[in-house]
Amino acid sequence: MAKTYDYLFKLLLIGDSGVGKTSILFRFSEDAFNISFISTIGIDFKIRTIDLDGKKVKLQIWDTAGQERFRTITTAYYRGSMGIMLVYDVTNEKSFENIKNWIRNIEENASADVEKMILGNKCDLDAKRQVSKERGEQLAVEYQIKFVETSAKDSLNVEFAFYTLARDIKAKMEKKQEASNPPGGRTGAHQLRANEQQRKPTSWLSRCSVL
């Protein structure tokens, strides 16, 4: 059988047009960079399987067009996403300001459980920089989202960013699982009293599993 994977995580890249979403994805999936700007049409995705703590995690990463005219299509992909990268261009003030709008867009369209990360891309272009790293960090703190500056061109922090997001999703998954039936046997507020007599095991069907 073809080699399989343990988990499928669906990720999404959003941000203004031209900030480098497609380049970041190209770098991560193909380890290459293209200087020319080919505007993404609507949506696209790439696959890469990574290894996290011995588990094979297949990442399906959706790239979106930043343009308004594709918005209906792109927002349709928010809901199924477990992680979202918010990308801005450090040489473009406007794209940074718009991060707030993109966050609002996530709040309205994505699952409440979605993990997020902010990327300040093109950090190789120091001469043209309009947004300082500090401002990026500050925004991230404000929204309680992780942040890193990247360069798709120089392959800086791109791997790190995706691994971090994937790791955060995995951690959340583990946490959710623990919360759903903690081995300690203590659950939320509505735990029935222990005086719910420790009856002897009854029907098998009523126990470990129904089937």
Partner 1 sequence: MNYQSKANKYVCPNDRQLSLRAKLRTGWSAARSEPPLSKSEREAIAAVVKRAEKVDEVEARRVGRLVARLEGMRRSAQGPAPRTCLLCGETSRLLAPLRTCAICRNSACPKCVIDTPPHRSSIYSREQYTCILCAETREMWKKSGAWFFKSLPKYIMPDKKITGRYNDTELAKTLQEAGPSSNEGKTDSEPGSPLSIHPPSFSRQPSKTDSRKSVCLSQDHEWNETDILSHGVSGLSLHRTDSLTQRPLGLKRTSSKGSAYSIRSIRKDMPKTMTQIERPPTIPDAGFGTLEIKLAYDNGTSSVAVTILRARGLIGMDMTGLSDPFCRLEILPREGSYSNRLRTKTVHKTKNPEFNETLHFFGITESDLDSKCLEIVLFDDDRYGCDEMGSATVSLRECLKCPSQLRLALSGASGSEPTGPRLLLALCYSTKKRALVTTVCRGAELPPQDSNGYSDPFVKLHLDPDPYHKKHKTSIKWRNLNPIWNEEFLFETRPTELSRQNLTLTVWDKDYGKPNDFLGSLVLGASSKGRRLKHWMDCIKFPDHRHEQWHSLTDTQHL
Say whether residue 176 binds partner 1 (CB under 8 A): yes
Residue 105: which H helix or E strand, with range? Answer: helix 99-109
CB 82 to partner 1: min, Å: 5
Say whether residue 98 binds Mg ion (CB under 5 A): no
Stretch that binds ligand GDP, among 1-9, 19-27, 44-52, 183-191 (CB under 6 A): 19-27
Say whether residue 74 binds Mg ion (CB under 5 A): no
Which DSSP letter does residue 151 get?
B
| Torsion of Cα atoms, 27 then 58 then 107 then 71, to 10° | 60
Distance CA 48, CA 133 (A): 29
> Given candidates 192, 208, 210, 211, which one binds Zn ion under the rule CB under 5 A?
208
Site string for partner 1, 80-119 (x = CB under 8 A): x-x-----------x--xx--x--xx--xx-x-x------
Collect all residues with Cβ–Cβ distance below 8 Å to 20 and sequence separation of at least 6. 87, 89, 121, 122, 150, 152
Name the β-bridge partners of 88: 120
User: What DSSP line would sit under 3-20, residue for residue?
Assistant: ---SEEEEEEEE-STTSS
Site string for Mg ion, 30-69 (x = CB under 5 A): ----------x-----------------------------
Largest Cα–Cα distance in the chain? Answer: 74
Q: Which is nearer to Mg ion, 21 or 153 (CB)?
A: 21
Cα 184 to Cα 2, 178, 181, 190, 209: the distances in Å are: 38, 9, 8, 15, 19
How many residues bind partner 1, per CB under 8 A? Answer: 68
Q: Which is nearer to Mg ion, 57 or 102 (CB)?
A: 102
Which tokens belong to 62? 């959706």
Select the binding partner of residue 124 from Zn ion, ligand GDP, Mg ion, none (C-beta < 5 to 8 A, by kind).
ligand GDP
Radius of gyration (C-alpha) of the chain in whole angstroms: 21
Say whether residue 92 binds ligand GDP (CB under 6 A): no
Subset of residues 117 to 156 that bind ligand GDP, contact rule: CB under 6 A: 121-122, 124-125, 151-153
Q: Which residues bind partner 1 (CB under 8 A)?
A: 4-8, 16-17, 41-45, 47, 60, 66-69, 71-73, 75-80, 82, 94, 97-98, 101, 104-105, 108-109, 111, 113, 173-174, 176-178, 180-186, 188-192, 196, 200-211
